[in-house]
Amino acid sequence: MRHFAIRALRPHAFVVALLCSACVQADDDGNAAEATATDAAATAATASAGMTSDDGADSSDTNDASPGSSNPTTADDDGDTASDGPGPAPDTDDTGSPGGFVTDGNPFAGAILYVDPAYAAKVQSSIDAAPADAELLAEVQDISTSIWLDRIAAVENVAPNLDAALALQQQENQAVTTVFTVYDLPNRDCAASSSAGELDVAQDGVARYRSEFIDPIAAEFAAHPDQRIVVILEPDSLPNLVTNLSVPKCAASEAAYRESVAYAIATLSMPHVYIYLDAAHSGWLGWAPNQTDAAQVFAEVLQDAGGADLIRGFATNVSNYTVLDEVPELFDFQGNPCHDEHTFVAQLGAALDAAGVTGKSFVIDTSRNGRGGIRSVWGHWCNLDDAGLGERPRADPRERVDAYYWVKPPGDSDGTSDPNAPRFDPSCVSSDSASGAPQAGEWFHDAFVALAQNANPAL
């Protein structure tokens, strides 16, 4: 399998100025909540706009003193800093896209990864608040994270970010990949409390999901046909149908989940849009029966959507903390053979192949899985204390894995630790959870600083 270097490059100031200040933030289980980053575009433009970030295991070159340099630093496939000459040529375009920036292969390969300026602004707020750690925290500021579309109002963020990405693509003459997490399913995340969404199946939620959410997103994607768009589709949706149908809300949501996810796949699938359907993580679906059942559910929904060819693959570990490779843990695996995400991806891939969903690739969320041995119960998921940033986004790290990527923006809270607050989930005061956590999706400064300090590989 070929390996490519990928870069994360923040838009230059003139591009960032195009962007609105609304920010979508995510909680742990892939759960997102409304938040606003005031004047995010201006702040991001001020915070070293245009600098590059190493795509591999080391991003120590992000403090280049030349914002907007015409020769941004690139990285080789091992994550080592390479020469500062022009980046790799874009992939050959098999779709007829002008400029050859769209590919029928891995959308992360050979591409600049778009950096959300709203996220960069949140990082800047922590840099300002923790001057002693400013140099360390600044290493994160130019790393690409997913833009979460977690409510109807967030759809307005699609066009300005894609416009900025297109301007960057034209400036650099290299493919730019923008990643969105689409997350507003009716009766969203039916087995959790902290991540309940705005749409209710009983209140015309399925129709609203189509007409007010998916259709407008699809229209904006269609209006940007010459750039790569990645979609992480509906975390914590179909996996709930595998293991949680005993929960009344999940049982009541099954038909809506199947119908809505199929509609989203069919509507968002375009030659330049690369969909990765959420497939939970090893601690959820790692047992063989769960893998088999999940593969069957995925196969049925894909058939309803129009076929498995409409998606590029699956996303795992979204907003979770499971390590890539097995390490000693504090909890009991309870017979689960998948002790890490690499093992899970390999076994789930085989289960999917057996179910007729063949040849699919994976994206693994590595935003917060740098350290194992930090939880006493595998099911603890909320604001884990002592967690660390994981592998930096990079393409083709191993067979069938298109990318390690930061789907969950590290620093966004998983849920409030205040038992008197709305949407409180007892999981957020577990023995492994950090204290003082704000509402899901709000910026958790202390947790962000700890993630950076505990990063593995180190920043």
Q: Confirm whether 414 is a catalytic residue.
A: yes
Smallest CA-to-CA distance from 54 within 6, 91, 19 is with: 6
Asked whether the beta carbons of 56 and 108 are under 8 A apart, the reply is no
Say what the pLDDT of residue 294 is. 98
d(CA 384, CA 372): 11
Q: Confirm whether 29 is a catalytic residue.
A: no
Dump pLDDT digits (tens) for 159-201: 999 999 999 999 999 999 999 999 999 999 898 876 778 999 9
Say what the pLDDT of residue 192 is. 81
Range 7-453: architecture per CATH: Alpha-Beta Barrel (3.20)
d(CA 210, CA 72): 41
Mean pLDDT of 327-338: 97
d(CA 160, CA 137): 26
Dump pLDDT digits (tens) for 350-402: 999 999 999 999 999 999 999 999 999 999 999 999 999 999 999 999 999 99
Give me the catalytic one of 236, 365, 402, 412: 236
Is pLDDT of 7 > 70? no
Burial track 356-375 (b if 16+ CB lie within 10 A, e otherwise): ebeebbbbbbbbbbbbbebb
What percent of the chain clears pLDDT 90, i.e. is strictly above it? 75
Lowest mean pLDDT among 29-33, 45-49, 266-270: 45-49
Report the amino acid identity of residue 53. Answer: S
d(CA 294, CA 74): 38
Give me the catalytic one of 189, 414, 425, 432: 414
Mean pLDDT of 327-349: 98
Name the band, by pLDDT with cuts 50, 70 and 90, for residue 273: very high
Smallest CA-to-CA distance from 453 within 428, 426, 434, 436 is with: 434
Average pLDDT, the chain: 84
Lowest mean pLDDT among 61-65, 200-204, 265-269, 430-434: 61-65
d(CA 414, CA 384): 9
Asked whether the beta carbons of 417 and 428 are under 8 A apart, the reply is yes
Is pLDDT of 50 > 70? no
Is pLDDT of 336 > 70? yes
Mean pLDDT of 46-55: 32
Q: What would the 3-class secondary structure string for the chain be?
A: CCCCCCEEECCCHHHHCCCCCEEEEECCCCCEEEEECCCHHHHHHHCCCCCEECCCCCCCCCCCCCCCCCCCCCECCCCCECCCCCCCCCCCCCCCCHHHCCCCCCCCCCCEEECCHHHHHHHHHHHHHCHHHHHHHHCCCCCCECEEECCHHHHHHHHHHHHHHHHHHHHHCCCEEEEEEECCCCCCCCCCCCCCCCCCHHHCHHHHHHHHHHHHHHHHHHCCCCCEEEEEECCCCHHHHHHCCCCHHHHHHHHHHHHHHHHHHHHHCECCEEEEEECCCHHHHCCHHHHHHHHHHHHHHHHHHCCHHHCCEEEECCCCCCCCCCCCCCCCCCCCCCCCHHHHHHHHHHHHHHCCCCCCEEEEECCCCCCCCCCCCCCCCCCECCCCCCCCCEEEEECCEEEEEECCCCCECCCCCCCCCCCCCHHHHCCCECCCCCCCCCECHHHHHHHHHCCCCCC
Is pLDDT of 17 > 80? no
Say what the pLDDT of residue 278 is. 98
d(CA 59, CA 6): 12
Mean pLDDT of 321-350: 98
Mean pLDDT of 318-333: 98
Say what the pLDDT of residue 197 is. 87
Dump pLDDT digits (tens) for 56-108: 333 233 233 222 232 232 333 443 333 333 333 334 444 445 568 999 999 99
Say what the pLDDT of residue 252 is. 96
Question: Which DSSP category does 384 fall into?
Answer: B
What percent of the chain clears pLDDT 70, i.e. is strictly above it? 78
Is pLDDT of 3 > 70? no
Name the band, by pLDDT with cuts 50, 70 and 90, for residue 12: very low
Is pLDDT of 26 > 70? no
Say what the pLDDT of residue 423 is. 87
Say what the pLDDT of residue 183 is. 96
Kindly report the pTM of this predicted structure: 0.82
